[in-house]
Amino acid sequence: MRRAIVTGASSGIGKAITNRLLALGYSVIGISRNVVADDFQGENFQALQCDLTDSNAVIKLCELLKKEDISILVNAAGFGKFEPHEELGVATIIQMTFLNLTAPMLLTNATLRSLKQNSGYLININSIEALRASKFAAVYSATKAGLRAFGDALFEETRKSTLSITNINPDMTQSNFYNTLRFDVSDKENEKLLSEDIADAIEHILATRKGAVVSEYTIRSLQFGIKKKKATK
């Protein structure tokens, strides 16, 4: 049975991808701070709790994953905070950069030999913000654009192998990503993406003939919408 790793597996896009891979017959290692085995049905799921903003914890995790036989790595964990740059705290900048960019590069480093040997798939869940410049998103956009550039460069580096590398750039997707933010996705179906839409993209990528690679996968809502939250006292 081919084995996959999904970060951010306990909720949102990561959880939807994990459920889809399990349904497709993969064994999945799900990684997040709070993930537990009971989050998913079946014996083919393994929960690994790790704070992916903690450099020491990630280094230990990478040493563990080097011993695993991996066919798919999905870097789905991430967070954003959208404020004027001077209003961001130093800790927030460091954590966002490490979680969104450094941790995926380290996890890829740890699993790359196995992925190449298994004709595997490296899939980075980026963001529409990797493709554009938006106010109040300087750090978030930089991390996602950096992850996209990392995937593109690694694709060129590994083209003599049979590894497939894809950057997925979703638009605003209904998930807990927005729980601590001042805005949320629209309530209208045509103005938002669902986590399952991203899982559909993963399934499409895996079903594509191995000789062809979907290197860039951008998913937009049909119409634009956003919902501002009421200010709390």
Show me where the domains of the chain are located.
3-228
Q: What percentage of the chain has pLDDT greater than the value 70?
A: 99
Task: Render pLDDT for 184-215 as a digit per residue (tens, 0 to 9).
Answer: 999 999 999 999 999 999 999 999 999 999 99
Asked if 178 is an active-site residue, the reply is no
For 14-31, the pLDDT digits (tens) are: 999 999 999 999 999 999
pTM: 0.95
User: Active site residue: 26, 121, 140, 217, which one?
Assistant: 140
CATH architecture of 3-228: 3-Layer(aba) Sandwich (3.40)
Which pair of structure tokens corresponds to residue 95?
Answer: 């954590």
